[in-house]
Amino acid sequence: MRTFMPSMRIFIDGKFYSERDAKVSVFDHGLLYGDGVFEGIRAYNGRVFKLKEHIDRLFYSAHALLLDIPMTHAELCRATVETIRANKLKDSYIRLIVTRGVGTLGLNPRSCKKPSVIIIAGKIQVYPPELYARGMDIVTVPTVRNLHSAVNPAIKSLNYLNNILAKIEANNAGVEEAVMLNSEGYVSEGTADNLFIVKKGALFTPPLSAGALYGITRATVIELAELSGLKVSEPNLTRYDLFNADECFVTGTGAEIMPVVKIDGRTVGSGKPGPLTKKLVAEYHALTQVSGEPI
């Protein structure tokens, strides 16, 4: 007997649609030009983790693009929760998208009269589960992080080609993630993750000024580390610092906390996920189970 899975319910501009009927116009500037912003959000155990912080960042990104989100902060929070409920999920990944909306084939954003809001709630597995136990290898790639004077890395926009090019280079090297440097040669971040190292019991992560994203998971890990009495600093880091770290890991909403055990062929520490990394993983997972907006 064949079992039919229920169709995903997708929020588009105030209404829910089935997967089959969820469509955007080919004239939407989010499609034509990557003109829009997005957030990736997680729900755990019936709670949306760091929802306010994610919606805050969405509004900051939109403001930087002169993109007026046609919903209030509170309305977006409610719509996110309602989308998860509509899909009967307790643990999920939520993709919240705001596009410039439908316009002409021309570049001018003034042709777009009304931005569009899309919310998708489903599942995601960024990295293979076995990598979390053994840690992963990463490489430095030639593609550098966007300049602040070009597309500011703080803007979480729909134009992710910079990251995609770096991801392609990581794939070509046979690894899942890459280290991206900025134009000055300092470590910025991964293709989709922030990066941390541990050295002599202290925690280090590149500064936001180096091109690192204002990561929600990054901020949470820093907070957990400081609560545990760990010294945390944000200096400019070089590849040399990564090679000689005692531990290394990357963080992201989808990835959570992923140990890194080899960088550009150099073994990090013991070559296995380190004790401070494991401690932060446990603390982070515990926090996600009890914190957040109830669904």
Any idea which residues carry the catalytic annotation? 156
Structure tokens at 15: 């209404």
State the Cα–Cα distance between residues 87 and 195, nearest whole angstrom: 33
Helices (H), the chain: 29-33, 51-64, 73-86, 129-134, 161-172, 216-227, 239-243, 275-290
Partners of 256 in the beta sheet?
Answer: 252
The rounded distance, in Å, linking the Cα atoms of 168 and 210 is: 22
The first and second tokens of residue 234, run together, are 């944000």
Residue 151, amino acid = V
Q: CA distances (Å), 293 to each of 22, 45, 77, in order?
A: 26, 11, 9
Sequence-ordered list of residues with C-beta below 8 angstroms from that of 133, at least 6 positions apart, any chain: 273
Token pair for residue 155?
Answer: 């803007």
Separation between Cα atoms, residue 40 and residue 38, nearest integer Å: 7
* Residues contacting residue 111 through CB under 8 Å, at least 6 positions apart: 103, 104
Q: Are 293 and 46 in contact (CB under 8 A)?
A: no
The torsion angles phi and psi of 130, rounded to 5 degrees, stand at -65, -20
Q: Are strands 136-140 and 256-263 parallel, antiparallel or unpaired?
A: parallel
